[in-house]
């Protein structure tokens, strides 16, 4: 399925909202992630937001409101929902059947997001991390080809692989910057390598978003991993 919300989808939604109410209740439409609307679909929604039908509520849900056109944002009321506290997250995950150890581990993987932590646990993300660490070390030693490494990764969902690559690049960025993930001082910084790693991290976020850019995922993944190996093994002056 496309990760973009297209104009035909928005038009169909507008049509549904314009139909006569079957019951004397609100019609509620949720658009998520709202930033996935392209320019055409956002423009198609604009008039409906300006002149909504009676008893219609439209929710634009997003983790990145800055990516929603200002023309839409200016016509909406805004609410920010605070994330769960660590204690609330652990309590909720315990109710979902996770042990205290697994809750802590997956909350770290998920940047403290309990819903994402549960999703990662259900997809055995920890096994993917462990497998990748071992095989990536072989790749750095040239004991494993990049195509073989990528073929193994492609057995997992692309979203999990993107998260894994981003997590790996972030860890190397912190390391080269001379701090750990908690911004605590560590060994001396390697600023040239840190800049290269940060540039690669930003580039990888765009390259691996294949649902949006229609690029071949394996080729883009191979390119990112080869670039990472070159940065880590190159002697910088």
Query: What is the per-residue pLDDT across 17-75, written as a single tens digit (0 to 9) for each?
Result: 988 777 778 899 999 999 999 999 999 999 999 888 888 999 999 988 888 999 999 99
Note whether residue 79 is domain-resident: no
Q: Enter the pTM of the model.
A: 0.70
Same domain, 103 and 150: no
Same domain, 115 and 129: no
Q: What's the domain count of the chain?
A: 3
Note whether residue 110 is domain-resident: yes
Domain range spanning residue 26? 7-73
* Cα–Cα dist 154/219, whole Å: 11
Same domain, 229 and 130: yes
Same domain, 23 and 96: no
Share of the chain above pLDDT 70, in %: 92
């Amino acid at each position: 399925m496309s990760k973009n919300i297209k104009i035909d989808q928005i038009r169909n939604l507008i049509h549904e909202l314009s139909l006569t109410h079957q019951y004397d209740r609100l019609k509620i439409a949720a658009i998520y992630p709202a930033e996935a609307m392209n320019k055409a679909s956002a423009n198609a929604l604009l008039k409906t937001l300006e002149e909504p039908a009676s008893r219609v509520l439209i929710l634009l849900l997003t983790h990145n409101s800055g990516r929603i056109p200002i023309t839409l944002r200016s016509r909406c009321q805004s609410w920010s929902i605070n994330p769960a506290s660590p204690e609330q997250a652990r309590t909720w995950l315990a109710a979902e059947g996770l042990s205290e150890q697994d809750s802590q581990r997956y909350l770290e993987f998920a940047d403290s997001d309990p819903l994402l932590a549960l999703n990662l646990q259900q997809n055995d993300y920890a096994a993917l991390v462990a497998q990748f660490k071992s095989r990536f070390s072989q790749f750095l030693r040239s004991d494993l080809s990049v195509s073989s490494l990528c073929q193994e990764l492609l057995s997992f969902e692309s979203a999990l692989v993107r998260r894994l690559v981003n997590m790996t690049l972030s860890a190397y960025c912190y390391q080269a910057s001379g701090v750990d993930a908690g911004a605590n001082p560590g060994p001396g910084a390697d600023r040239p390598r840190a800049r290269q790693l940060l540039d690669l991290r930003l580039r990888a976020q765009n390259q691996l978003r294949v649902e949006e850019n229609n690029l071949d995922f394996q080729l883009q993944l191979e390119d990112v991993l080869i670039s990472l190996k070159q940065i880590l093994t190159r002697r910088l002056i």
